[in-house]
Structure 1
Amino acid sequence: MSWEQQGYWQGQGYDQQYGYSGYPEYTQQPYVDHAQGVPEAPYPEAPYPEAPYPDAAYPLPVVEPEPEPPVTAPPTDAEAEEEKPPPRPPGRDRYFDTLRAVALIRVVAYHTFGWAWAGMVFPSMGIMFGLAGTLMAKSLERPAAKVIRSRLRRLLPPFWFWGVFVVLAMLVHDWMPGWQIVYWIVPLGDPPGNAWGEQAWEILWYLRTYLWFVLLSPVLLRVFRLSPVPVLLLSLAPIVVLQFLWEPPDDRLGSALTDLATFLFCWILGFAHRDGVLERLRPAAVVLLSLAALGFGGWYAFTHQGETGSYDLDDIPLAQAFWSAGYVLLLMWAKSYFGIDFAWLTRFRRTDRVVTIFNSRAVTIYLWHEIALILAVPLIDRFWNVPAFEKWLPLESQWFMFGIGWILIAVFVLLCGWVEDVAGKKKPRLLP
């Protein structure tokens, strides 16, 4: 909401500060034409007699001096604050913020329960790449070099802070790094590690893919704007090529190419939303294309379970690409076509507060959630030594571990979230 500007005597006449039209006793005073020396209406029925000599002027009607309007003291700062509506962060879209928060919750749930169907119910990674593409297109209205530096500054310090703990823990557990340790400085490739810490660092593929998309976005956006719809549709071609025509190498390069190809459509879809391309598409065409992509992605996942032992989209890149494409296309098109903004969310202050924290601490939650789940296991093991806990708490339930994991995530947000504030050149706070 914008600040409403207030003034004194607004709408009271020609002078907003000392106007007279607000006083009814002065509204019928005649207007005097000084050039002719006679007043105009409201006295037309009483004309003046002929002047005795040409230059004579009759006296003007006597008008009582007007009282000065009461001077109102300007409101104090405290009063002004009470009159003004509460400020809202500029440029925030609660629909996108809510999608990002739900995506993070789904990621934590998937890493807790291992549900293969979770990616089909809500493809978190595709949604997060789509939202990031929209924000990147908006940011590129400024010089590209400045935008890239800003993105790196926001991403790398939280990553470095988290990486210090992970690297030190792996070194204590007999890890011997090589030159590839440079990927712990700039994750253009998968950072190395040992098996002991694999559960913590295996999630870094998302940061690596995001970083490459940020670096490539100035070129991708320029190509997209040459022919938006064809480029959007052709962005699914790379994953088809990698699946059927050329098998990428089984190394860092191959992993990076596969992940880029898998989520390229979602990233460029963010461009399409930002540039208003989705608003101009026919609803029937969008729904048809979305259902076709969802149908192919689902069919491919269920018919190729023999290769991975599951229909989990995370293990089947082609299915992931098409399922995410159809799903995210519907979400973003609905946002553009129906004007969904979730503005009503601000009426529920606690829920709105939670969504704000999730978005302001998204990197912290993503990086630390696996460590929180790892620490939840030995912590729950300690509970077994307390007879009351053993009797009354569901220590064997994964839902209990899920709850303990979120408690630990909250602790990490309080202890480590300030790094995101520092990276964003903001005042460090426990909670945003």
Structure 2
Amino acid sequence: MQLDRLMGASVVLAVVVSLAAVLPIARAEIKTTPIVSDSRSVILFEEFGFRRGGHASVSATGISWRVPEGSQLQAVDTTLMGFFLISNSLFYEINNESDYAEATGGAFCPLTSKYVQRLFLFKEVAPDGTGRGSLTIDSDDQYTVLFSSCQEGVEVTMDVRTEMYNLRRSGTREYLPVGLLPLPWIFAAAAAVHFAFLGTWVVVCVKHRRTAERIHAVMGALLLFKALKLACAAEDQWFVERTGTPHGWDVAFYVFGFFKGILLFTVIVLIGTGWSFLKPYLQEREKNVLMIVIPLQVIENIASAVIGETGPAGRDWLAWNQIFLLVDVICCCAVFFPIIWSIRNLREASKTDGKAARNLQKLTLFKQFYLVVVCYLYFTRIAASAIAAVLSYKYQWAVNVSIEMTSLAFYVFVFYNFQPVEKNPYLYVGDDEEEAAGGQLEMESTFEI
């Protein structure tokens, strides 16, 4: 049984590390994480990109452990429980050791590996239930702090404080990992661009207020909350870089992100239905889409906050990630239905109402909108995660840049094509275009959905 437990610890370690590579992790903060009656064999706490001379420390208070009733374990070996630091480039060596131990019938525990750097073992815990350990990094790389228990069924309780930082030449601490150092400036620049965008949008709406519709006000609100979210992200990362804690800016970030997320999908759905542009009302099925998307966005933002604040050490962290991904996929699929319905309705209308040119322009714009939404959601949800998984830890900031540039390009396309101007394809088509458009609509068969 003990052998199975030791082998299981190595398998769990490999799984945890694999998930950490593709799922978002709360990073680069001084964090205190409560662990209560937890029997997991491996608990991942933090990942951090270090420079040589960086510092990692872990301290725990209220450390206690117990063997649950019915366990076959007779005594707890405290040398097989503790914290360690490992370079991510050496995880394959751990796996090799585990595979060799399994092939030879031996036992393997990560804490006994020569490739890990032990912070402290439970045999070193003081009588008052406290333990601490620290290490100075001797080579550049991304490192992971983990707790391992190679004891069958032992339940551990403790409050764990992790602190990781690099040192500037001036000797001051730098709590953001190497790959995320540019983030404060990236988010600040993106916020400035979106505030300027918002100002331009307000000017356009005021200038063309006679053709401005309610949807344009909703689009302006989306820009506002997007800009506020980015501004809070910049402040959050700025404070984390210097102090290790966000000083409350993370709360504002989640609040503004909550409204931005709801408004983004609401705008996509409303534009897809043609609300305000084509008709002043929503059909029942379109209302149902909104009634599905908005509550799901609430759940998604709650999941995002839990993931960001608890980190991978939380027992339910993986479950919240699964909820986040599932809800996000459902929302992304749901917003396509109104666009598809509108495209089909325009096709049908083009055969009966005699307004060929107007219907052709509307249909073309809807097809472009559909494709742009698909590309935007695909890149920000799938492609960006794939890039982050293969990108060097030193350049993780490039993922944020690509996401913000993609988002800005999406916003520019949507706001430009659906702005309140006299000759918006939704609202105006000259009579001289009717005859040419009629022939083109007859050949319209290349974009079937």
Give TM class, smaller chain: under 0.3
Of Structure 1 and Structure 2, the greater strand share is in 2
TM-score (norm. length: structure 1): 0.26
TM-score (norm. length: structure 2): 0.26
Structure with bigger gyration radius: 1
Of Structure 1 and Structure 2, the greater helix share is in 1
